[in-house]
Amino acid sequence: MPANRAVIYRGPGHVEVEDVDYPTFELKDGPGVNPDNVGRQLPHGAILKVVATNICGSDQHMVRGRTTAPEGLALGHEITGEVVETGRDVEYIKTGDLVSVPFNIACGRCRNCKEGKTGICLNVNPDRPGSAYGYVDMGGWVGGQAEYAMVPYADWNLLRFPDRDQAMAKIVDLAMLSDIFPTGFHGAVTAGVEPGSTVYIAGAGPVGLAAATSAFLLGAAVVIVADLNTERLEQARSFGCETIDVSKGEPADQIEQLLGIPVVDCAVDAVGFEARGHGDNAQEERPATVLNTVMGVTRAGGKVGIPGLYVTGDPGAADEAAKHGSLSLEFGLGWAKSLAFTTGQCPVMRYNRQLMMAILHDRVNIAKNVNATVLPLAEAPQGYSDFDRGAAHKYVLDPHGMIQR
């Protein structure tokens, strides 16, 4: 049995790469594992040799200590890998297949899965609908920032790449299919982006840049990306976005300078609960700022996509209400403008095959647009540190040295 190493959360601001157990077809007890999931048998699973596994902004929330994640949690929900073993009930996925793993863990059997709502599967997390690998309050499924990882319900969850050589030539782009590309695309789709749209995207991190890429893929005429980080705004401009530095004033005023009117057709919140203020308040944490802004700058009758993460428990929040997920929303404004909102995990399987085809046939360069940067697994702690400081990179970990650089 091969050795295995994984990225482990060791408290706020601290991750380590440590030796861990090789995965098996049983969910064992460990940090964050729901007691009702302990001992769960997984004959429908597959064990992967991890080819690429990414650091996500959602991971960063945990590492900053902004969730109730337990120490010892193995991190990572963005996984691309090679199948090295399958459980006895796996029928279609085969050893040697190169696959993408949706970050949502879904059974394929419950009502929500059958309706395509794989982000809120009813059977994988005893706490509440929806689950993910290596994430707090998500059932305790072991994270995939590791050399080897186990994926349950393999026939249902795994997206097989049709040609191994073609896939390996584009593996850094394809690594974005596990989360941020479908998540950004979901934000743009649910915001109603269509040919000729003007789009406001709050946040120039990897998900915001993926949403901007998706907006162009859907035919948007103007994509405006807003952030405080000048390096990330420069990255957005590198593929045709207009940009707004929210530290320099209200977004509506800057939108008017770009478009002649202070509103856009649709908006995407790719920031989430660690939002900061605008203008003179740009260095203060104000978790409702982005939600209130997107309501203000979206035209009456428009739509808002909210792939940015919001949580029910934030021990590091700026005020008591926000610690319990309660924010000071100007909801009356959204109601008065008849806005439509879509929130929650992206149902990755709704989009990942189509986006895979766009990558394989050179219709999109997602790795370039998000500035994907490959690191060996041993350098994961440095990647987390640099990402926390606002580096304009999407860090891709290469546990086995399989990615050509």
Q: Which domains does the chain have, with CATH numbers?
A: 5-178+348-398 (3.90.180.10), 180-343 (3.40.50.720)
Q: Tell whether the model's pLDDT for residue 341 goes beyond 80.
A: yes
Q: Tell whether the model's pLDDT for residue 321 goes beyond 90.
A: no
Q: Tell whether the model's pLDDT for residue 404 goes beyond 90.
A: no
Q: Tell whether the model's pLDDT for residue 5 goes beyond 90.
A: yes
pLDDT in tens, 154-183: 999 999 999 999 999 999 999 999 999 999
- DSSP-derived letter for residue 98 is E
- Return the pLDDT at 273: 86
> Which pLDDT band, with edges at 50, 70 and 90, does 281 fall under?
confident
Cβ-contact 383, 55 below 8 angstroms: yes
Averaging pLDDT over each range in 182-186, 326-330, 385-389, which range is the top one? 182-186
Q: Which helix (H) or strand (E) holds 372?
A: strand 372-376
Distances (CA, A) of 338 to 186, 250, 262, 366: 21, 22, 17, 33
β 298-306/340-343 pair status: parallel
Q: At CB < 8 A and 24+ separation, what contacts does 262-265 make? A: 262/297, 263/297, 263/298, 263/299, 264/197, 264/198, 264/199, 264/200, 264/222, 264/224, 264/297, 264/298, 264/299, 264/302, 265/192, 265/193, 265/197, 265/198, 265/199, 265/298, 265/299, 265/302
Q: What proportion of the chain, given as a percentage, has pLDDT over 70?
A: 100
Question: What phi, psi does 150 have (nearest 5°)?
Answer: -110, 135
- Return the pLDDT at 311: 84
Q: What is the average per-residue pLDDT within 36-53?
A: 97
- Return the pLDDT at 356: 98
Q: What is the average per-residue pLDDT within 344-354?
A: 97
- Return the pLDDT at 312: 82
Average pLDDT value for the chain: 95
Lowest mean pLDDT among 9-18, 176-185, 322-331: 322-331
- Return the pLDDT at 9: 97
CA distance 228 to 109: 43
Block residue for tokens 């997107």: 294
Cβ-contact 349, 160 below 8 angstroms: no
pTM value is 0.96
Those residues whose C-beta lies under 8 Å from the C-beta of residue 259, and which sit 6 or more positions away, are 198, 222
Q: Tell whether the model's pLDDT for residue 381 goes beyond 90.
A: yes
